[in-house]
Amino acid sequence: MVNKSKNLAIAVDIGGTNLRTAFVDEKGKIIAKNIVKTVRKGRSGNIVAEQAIGEIKKIIGDSGVRKYAGIGVSVAGPIDPKKGASVNPPNMNFRFVPIVAPLKEEFRIPVYIMNDCIAGVLGEKHFGAGKKFSNLVYITMSSGIGGGAIANRNLLMGRGGNAAEIGHMTVDTKFDLPCSCGKGRGHWEAYASGNSIPKFFRIWAKNCRLEAELPSEAKAIFQAVRNKDKITLKFMEELGKINGRGISNVIAAYDPGIIILGGAVALSSGDLVLRYAKKNIDKFLRLPEIKISNLGENAPLLGAAAMVLNKQ
């Protein structure tokens, strides 16, 4: 039974693929959780908020909990904190996804919003491997690449709530790949995100004049590495340079004590990503610890709860 209901938060994590809803207590314990596929079709982005409202009602109904401090929402960025919305998110099908207003109107309790990577670093700081650190960076490697940073215990928000959009740092000019953000070339996300790895493999193989079977998913590439496929192992050296540059940029920018990697690519294949990246990380500053998240997929969800429980 849940007694200290006033110390519970409703946490929602709206990603390009999944929408997660949970009740979380102040120790970061997930009391109840739902996962559904994020709606991708509809007349407008309002439909995402409607889906979130439906999921929150479901979790309230199922758990029987009636008192909660508020709703924290982690959403695929970039966000506009003044409008309480996600705006032009590259990994969702809508240009404008309003969150705060529709949730406040429905539930009449405080609603907080952050982009999912900043929520991720908050989750790691309060409930994960970042607890003991004053300076930490969370990197998500999933369909895209993003980050969140805490410097001297301060959560870096940036002017519009999108500080540490590290996936859009430039890491290459040789292949000069266009980024899914549509705003630049050579960005880290254009090479090393789950969506980009197969595209990068194709272009790299063509460039090296290699006849290779062309994988359609990052998963297949990592599997080929585990099977010691020679061409794929060679590709990993190139991918390692890209990830090494990305991580070197992060170290130079934030001087963190720890970097924590989350997101589907890191959670399934982070050992391989790091094995090849580490050879290429510049030793200009003292190297931080670099770890795969032990919160699994829940870092942003727990960060969303931390927003509500006044832990930021």
Q: For 216, what's the count of Cα atoms within 13 Å in the CB-facing half-sphere?
A: 0
Structure token digits, residue 248 = 């070197």
If the CB atoms of residues 187 and 199 are measured against Zn ion, the closer one turns out to be 187
DSSP 27: T
Minimum CB–partner distance for residue 154 and Zn ion (Å): 26
Minimum CB–partner distance for residue 253 and Zn ion (Å): 16
| Binding residues with Zn ion: total (CB under 5 A) | 4
Window 111-130: residues binding Zn ion (CB under 5 A): none
Strand partners, 2: none
If the CB atoms of residues 168 and 291 are measured against Zn ion, the closer one turns out to be 168
- H helix runs in the chain, sequence order: 46-63, 100-107, 116-127, 189-192, 197-207, 218-226, 230-254, 264-277, 299-308
Residue closest to 30 by CA, chosen among 123, 122, 107? 123
Window 149-208: residues binding Zn ion (CB under 5 A): 168, 179, 181, 187
Count of helices and strands (H, E) across the chain: 9, 13
Minimum CB–partner distance for residue 180 and Zn ion (Å): 7
Minimum CB–partner distance for residue 5 and Zn ion (Å): 42
If the CB atoms of residues 107 and 175 are measured against Zn ion, the closer one turns out to be 175
Residue closest to 96 by CA, chosen among 28, 43, 165? 43
Q: Please give the residue whose beta carbon sits closest to Zn ion in the complex.
A: 179
If the CB atoms of residues 91 and 269 are measured against Zn ion, the closer one turns out to be 91
Minimum CB–partner distance for residue 95 and Zn ion (Å): 17
Each residue 243-272 as x (binds Zn ion by CB under 5 A) or -, in order, gives ------------------------------
Q: Radius of gyration of the chain from Cα atoms?
A: 20
For binding to Zn ion (CB under 5 A), which residues are involved?
168, 179, 181, 187
